[in-house]
Structure 1
Amino acid sequence: MVTLLRRSLCPVRRLRGRPRPAADVPHRTASHAGPGLLYPDHIPTSLLQKTLLAAGSAAMALYNPYRHDMVAVLGETTGRHTLKALRDQMRRDPEGAQILQERPRIALSTLDLGKLQSLPEGTFGRQYLRFLDVNRVSPDTRAPTRFVDDEELAYVIQRYREVHDMLHTLLGMPTNILGEIVVKWFEAVQTGLPMCLLGALFGPLRLSAQSLQVLVSELIPWAVQNGCRAPCLLNVYYERRWEQPLLALREELGITPPPVEL
């Protein structure tokens, strides 16, 4: 399986030498990419190649859930129909449609860290910045989309990746394995993406008995209820909500505090 995955990823190795676009440059049209490419990082693949990539990345992601590159490949090669549904939800929502039109990106180059730091305590922007600091994570670690053969859908999954830390902030979940599984359950209900379902179902296999009990009895029911109750969170223009109190944003979206503190 690993050998097949390596063979399928040959185009990735050939393209590694190409300069990557700045993080704040949105996906647009093929005119910004090379010949035959739909966007700068696009790697065209056949159905067979996608199948091999999906199988290999799924195996690697199950073996090591922290292989975010493999999780990313899995999402891109298995989620086309779901991405279409998410895109259509965004088109029907005024805020979501504006996001699709303007294509904002979330990266250190697009964030005004000074402004976020100056916001009052309790605001969404200040809490998001605290999340990044406490968990020692950066928005720049999100992999660029490569294997989605539709420019608009490529942006949708890129947006999903880049708002992942916003969901952690809204849900009050850390980046340890238990917190990530809880967020995956929420995302699975919200998006239906196969990679989210896979992480939600198989991620708990790596937990201790005590953590598993808390997850099953309290955190999964909470995540599922909130995921069902909240509107599609891809339709939230987070960059325009920095000054909104976190509690008010949670109330607007129907998100309740977690039952236990992790």
Structure 2
Amino acid sequence: MVTLLRGTLRPLRLFQALPGPAADVPLRAASQGTGLLYPEHIPTSLLQKVLLTAGSAGMALYNPYRHALFQQNLLPDFAGARPIPRPCLLPCRERPRISLSTLDLDKLRSLPEGSLGREYLRFLDVNRVSPDTRAPTRFVDDEELAYVIQRYREVHDMLHTLLGMPTNILGEIVVKWFEAVQTGLPMCILGALFGPIRLSAQHLQVLVSELVPWAVQNGRRAPCVLNLYYERRWEQPLKALREELGITDPPVHIKA
């Protein structure tokens, strides 16, 4: 498996920076572990961050789709200020949230077949998942970065809808490759690289030869998906949104 992955990684040059403005904007309201910066905030010491990071990394390797255990200590803010990439700034201005309290499920069900909202709701129903299953951000000592990470978690199911991936382990690994290229988050990289250990030889061959190159190419070509205001695009045809983002159809169909 390692040989197969190495052969795929070399020509693709993974995790290169996406094209776009290079300037970063520093975060505000950083903390060194004292005081509450947002309602769910739990201040932690350096030692606690290290322990939580190790535990989260271990669970990411064991179960790449266990999002409830993705604690943002994989992005510890030891220096007190961390830049946000410019392509991911727009959601911070109005800070939309995706949850049962903000979604109008009846409206989504009334949308035309093939629309983003209808297909997203179909994904939730078929896979029996809820946007409220995403645990809130707790351990990030920066209020703005905490929102960015929360947004990342809440749009994860939207990525499944955009990419046409189910929630089984193969589909989750493909999404992790896409997320790893787009965000560079350590948890995504670990899940993408080590999640395939649990795959069968047949699924591993399909992943390495077809799905990983597809996910990487689409991740590099598409703009930052965290930056999309999905709540204003529910009526847009999913096919049109994919074309706008440069996301192509998967090379193979993965059964749920």
Q: TM-score band (shorter)?
A: 0.7 to 0.9
Shift of residue 138, structure 1, vs aligned partner: 0.5
Gaps of 5+ in 2: 1-28
Distance in 1 between the 2:139 and 2:206 partners? 37
1:36-55 → structure 2 map (5 Å cutoff): 36-55=35-54
Cα separation, partners in 2 of 1:85 and 1:131, compared to 1, 3 Å: farther
Distance in 2 between the 1:87 and 1:217 partners? 31
Shift of residue 90, structure 1, vs aligned partner: 2.4
Distance in 2 between the 1:182 and 1:100 partners? 27
Paired AA for residue 77 in structure 1: N
Specify the alignment match of 1:115 in structure 2: 107
Alpha-carbon RMSD: 2.0
Specify the alignment match of 1:89 in structure 2: 87
Residue of 161, 164, 169 corresponding to 1:172: 164
Specify the alignment match of 1:224 in structure 2: 216
Paired AA for residue 42 in structure 1: H
Gaps of 5+ in 1: 1-28
Distance in 1 between the 2:191 and 2:59 partners? 12
1:26-45 → structure 2 map (5 Å cutoff): 36-45=35-44
- Deviations, residues 103-161 of structure 1 (Å, cap 9, x unaligned): 11101111011111011111111111111111111000001001100000000000000
1:104 aligns with 2:96: yes
Tell me whether 172-181 or 58-67 shows the greater mean CA deviation: 58-67
Paired AA for residue 52 in structure 1: L
Runs of 4+ in 1 over 3 A off after TM superposition: 64-67, 83-88
Give the number of equivalent residue pairs: 221
Distance in 1 between the 2:179 and 2:82 partners? 16
Higher relative contact order (CA 8 A, sep 6+): 2
Structure having the higher helix fraction is 1
The percent of aligned pairs where both chains have the same amino acid is 79
Q: Given the two structures, how large is their TM-score scaled by the length of structure 1?
A: 0.80
Specify the alignment match of 2:75 in structure 1: 79
Distance in 1 between the 2:157 and 2:63 partners? 20
Q: Given the two structures, how large is their TM-score scaled by the length of structure 2?
A: 0.82
1:62 aligns with 2:54: no
Specify the alignment match of 1:11 in structure 2: none
CA contact (8 A) 1:181 1:199 kept: yes
CA contact (8 A) 2:137 2:146 kept: yes
CA contact (8 A) 1:86 1:191 kept: no
Paired AA for residue 53 in structure 2: A
- Deviations, residues 197-243 of structure 1 (Å, cap 9, x unaligned): 00000000000111001000000000000000000111100000000
